[in-house]
Every structure is written in C-alpha cells, then in structure tokens.
Amino acid sequence: MRNKGFKIFIVTIAIVVSIFFIAPLFWMLATSFKTDQEAFTSGIKWIPEVFTLENYTYSLSGGSDTPVFTWMSNSLFVGIAGTLIVLIVDTLAAYGLARLDVPFKKLLFAMFIGSLTIPWVITFLPLYMGFNQLGLLDTYAVLILPYSANAFGVFLLYQSFKAFPKELEEAAHLDGANKWQVFTKIALPSARPIIWTLAIFTFMSIYNDFLWPLLTTSSPEMRTITTGIAIMQQGSFVSSPGRLMALTAIATIPVILIFILGQRSFIKGVTQTGIK
C-alpha cells in the first residue's frame, strides 16, 4: 500500500508540474486563433469563440514588416552551424582529455570546469568589443562564433569517454586501428546518446538566445526569430496579441520537431548522464 500511495503521489506531482509547463503553450495557441477584440476582452478563456487563421496568414505574409522566413532561416542556420561546431570541438577535446596522453590534461580539465562558474554576462562586453574591433557585428560570424566553445559539452562527453571500456580500445589497436579510427568508429558511436543530448541542448540554447543577437545585429535581414518577435512586440504587433502569439507559435515549430526527432536518444542520454 505504501508503494502504491507513493506512486500515486509522484504521478500527481508530475501532472501538476506538467500543467504549469503546458498551460502557457496552450494559452499561446488559443490566443493565436482569436481575433484581437476577443484577445483583449475575453479574459481567461482557453477556447476561442470564433477560430480565425488571419493571424497566421498575416504573420507569414507580412512582407518587409515581418520577414518571418528570413528570421527563421537565420535562426536555423545559426543554430545548426553553431551546434555542428560545438559537437566537433567538444568531442575532440573531451576524447583527448579522457583517453589520450595530453600534457597538463588535469589542469586543462580543471580550467574547463572552472569556466562553467563564470556568468555569461561577464564575458558579454569583452566579446562585443572584440567583434566590434574585427568589424564582425551584424554578420553571421558574430551570431555563431561565441557558441563555438562549450565547456559544458566537454564535461558531458568527458564522462562518457572516460567510462569507455579500455578493452575495446586495446582490441581495436590489436586489429590495426589507429587512434583516429578508434575515435570515429568505436568511441563516437558508443557516445551517440550523449552527443544527441548535447546537440539538442546546444541548438535550443542558440536558437532561443535573445540578448546577444539583439545587441550585435541591427539590419532586419540579420535578425533572428527571437529578436524579430521582440521588435514586433514593441512595434506593429503591440496592439495585436493574436498576431504576436501566432508568430511565437511559428517560432516554436523547429525546436519541437528537433526534440521529436531526437527524443529517444535525448532521453537515453539524459538517463545515462543523470541530468535532470
């Protein structure tokens, strides 16, 4: 009876927490199908009285006022490019620290871990000044390069490569495999769930970032979807919550699709690493 009661309690808590996460999303979708008049006057009403797609058609065909496809393509390009760079750099760094005879690797690993304690806001101004002096503001480089080194990814993959069975590595060397072949054909496939987890975390972090793209880009064609939504919130959509919610709903589609595609590997990777 105690175990059954405990399970019921845990399930109840999970349902309550899930409602807190789902309710804002449901409210966003409901508002995106409302007219502006209903959105302003209906109060808390979860189902629109009259469903309308005008908010979506206007947001998707807004022209130069709301270049949604340009903003979305910028966010997708920056997110994918930044994620690929992080995966390449972090897998190489983590494998080198975990399995190779790298000089001062304990010190290097301690520096990686120590960098996780540094708040992002402290590095913001030096990064901005550096990109400004290089003339890279309002370019794709300023949107991608700050994410190219991820100490959290190195730490995550280091744990996986450190636990990699040494016997498999020795067997591969006996079969004539070099270190690169061991890395690409044995170590990387075994860490696939962790790599998927890192990829999803990294893409979501880059795609959802707001402050850095807002301050480092100025032209409309270089804006990302997050900065575009913020501009429209203070601009022509300030009196149109339905259109603003429709634009926000469109922005969530890529993140949801990527999570669905990598859901199994993501859950497996989170389980293996103990991330909550």
Higher pLDDT, residue 8 or 137: 137
- 204 CB neighbour count, 10 Å cutoff: 16
pLDDT band at 276 (very low <50, low <70, confident <90, very high): very low
pLDDT in tens, 151-179: 888 888 888 888 878 888 878 878 788 88
With contact defined as beta carbons under 8 Å apart, do 151 and 116 qualify? Answer: yes
pLDDT at 100: 83
- Neighbouring C-alpha atoms within 13 Å toward the C-beta of 209: 26
Is residue 132 pLDDT above 90, yes or no?
yes
- Averaged over 7-13, what is the pLDDT? 82
Under the banding of pLDDT at 50, 70 and 90, the label for residue 275 is: very low
Residue 144 pLDDT more than 90? yes
Contact present, 50 and 35 (Cβ < 8 Å): yes
pLDDT of residue 86: 93
**pLDDT at site 272:** 55
Hey, what domains does the chain have and what are their CATH numbers?
Answer: 1-51 (no CATH), 64-274 (1.10.3720.10)
Which pLDDT score is estimated for 82? 94
pLDDT at 25 over 90: no
How far is the C-alpha of 172 from the C-alpha of 32, rounded, in Å? 56
DSSP of 64-91, one letter per residue? TS--HHHHHHHHHHHHHHHHHHHHHHHH
Are 222 and 139 within 8 A, CB to CB?
Answer: yes
What would the mean pLDDT of 228-239 be, rounded to a whole number? Answer: 79
Is 70 exceeded by the pLDDT of residue 214?
A: yes
For residue 198, pLDDT beyond 60: yes
Alpha helix locations (H) across 116-240?
120-133, 140-144, 151-162, 166-174, 179-182, 188-190, 192-208, 211-216, 225-234
Q: Which residue has the higher pLDDT, 138 or 59?
A: 138
DSSP H or E segment with residue 163? none
pTM of the entire predicted model:
0.83
Q: Phi, psi at residue 275, to the nearest 5°?
A: -75, 140
Q: Is the pLDDT of residue 206 over 90?
A: yes
Q: Which of 7-11, 23-27, 122-126 has the lowest mean pLDDT?
A: 7-11
Question: pLDDT tens-digit profile of 36-94?
Answer: 888 777 567 778 888 888 888 888 876 556 788 899 999 999 999 999 999 999 999 88
Q: What is the pLDDT of residues 99-128, one digit of tens each?
A: 888 788 888 888 878 888 888 788 888 899
Residue 228 has pLDDT above 80, yes or no: yes
Nearest to 76 by CA among 215, 254, 248, 258: 254
The mean predicted confidence, pLDDT, of the chain is 83
Contact assessment for residue 246 and residue 55, using Cβ atoms and an 8 Å cutoff: yes
Mean pLDDT score, 18-37: 85
